[in-house]
Amino acid sequence: MLWHAHASKLWDRFVIDVRRRLASSVGLVQSRFADHARLSFARVAEYQKRAAVHVHAVVRLDGPNEADDEPPAWATTELLAGAVRASARRVLVHTPYSAAVGELALRWGAQVDARPLRTNDDGPDDDAVAAYVAKYVTKGASETGAGTDYPLTTWDDIESAPVSEHVRNLMRACWRLGGLPEYEPLRLREWTHTLGYRGHILTKSRAYSTTYAALRAERAHHMGHVDAPDTITERHWRYVGSGHTPGAALIAVGVAEDIAANREIARGQREVPR
């Protein structure tokens, strides 16, 4: 659970370390790396059957300007794969000290598999890479059986959640750890339903591919709009009420008419002199 809570920070340090290794391997100062090359990535987090988060990523070296910009001559596949493997073995994140748990050093697992794509035009093409990423996005979202797609706010919610006993035990551990003051910044109880993992299923660097703004503009152009319509994001919702289905509406009208008729009869009876 603590590894899940720190997975995003571990990834950030991994990316920083890859850039640092690439720069030092070709004699560049790290602060000048962006003048020569750009490290881009798309990362997918997948829950395995044991409910542990597994990461699949496409990592790419581009030129310093755009994604279509040719990388420098030193930016070889072997250099990038070597930096990925070395950084995956090296980076770590320390948890806050806890009297109950101690201080843990969290790392990536030993299973690191770095494979080249499109080496000498003999590797997978663009469609194959996109399908690879999409496969694990959909698997991570719907086929894992780990956690729930809604927050759990009480211990009883954990006990009644439709999950395996293994996942339920992990949720219990996440809830207990979330009650320790030293882990309060991790908000473990708020993320019990995802087993402590706070990241998105899919994340990418800004320059890896197109942006959502560009997609909205292209959609607006396709629909004949000159400008993309404004996007409104509403974050706060409250329950107002529920309406009737067509059948229920007819029944409600009939009940209302019967009530009104009964009131008229009762009023007439009261007005009759005795």
Specify the pLDDT at position 15.
93
Specify the pLDDT at position 228.
56
Specify the pLDDT at position 83.
93
Specify the pLDDT at position 44.
86
Specify the pLDDT at position 98.
92
Ranges of residues in the chain whose predicted pLDDT is under 50: 141-142
Question: For residue range 40-49, what is the model confidence (pLDDT) as tens digits?
Answer: 888 888 888 8
Token duo for residue 95: 């948890």
Question: For residue range 172-182, what is the model confidence (pLDDT) as tens digits?
Answer: 999 999 999 99
Domain locations along the chain? 2-222
Residues 48, 153, 196: CA angle, nearest 5 degrees: 30
> Of 203, 164, 190, which Cα lies nearest the Cα of 50?
164
Interhelix angle 2-25/77-90, nearest 10 degrees: 140
The phi, psi pair for 191, rounded to 5°, reads: -115, 25
CB 10 within 8 A of CB 108: yes
CB 62 within 8 A of CB 207: yes
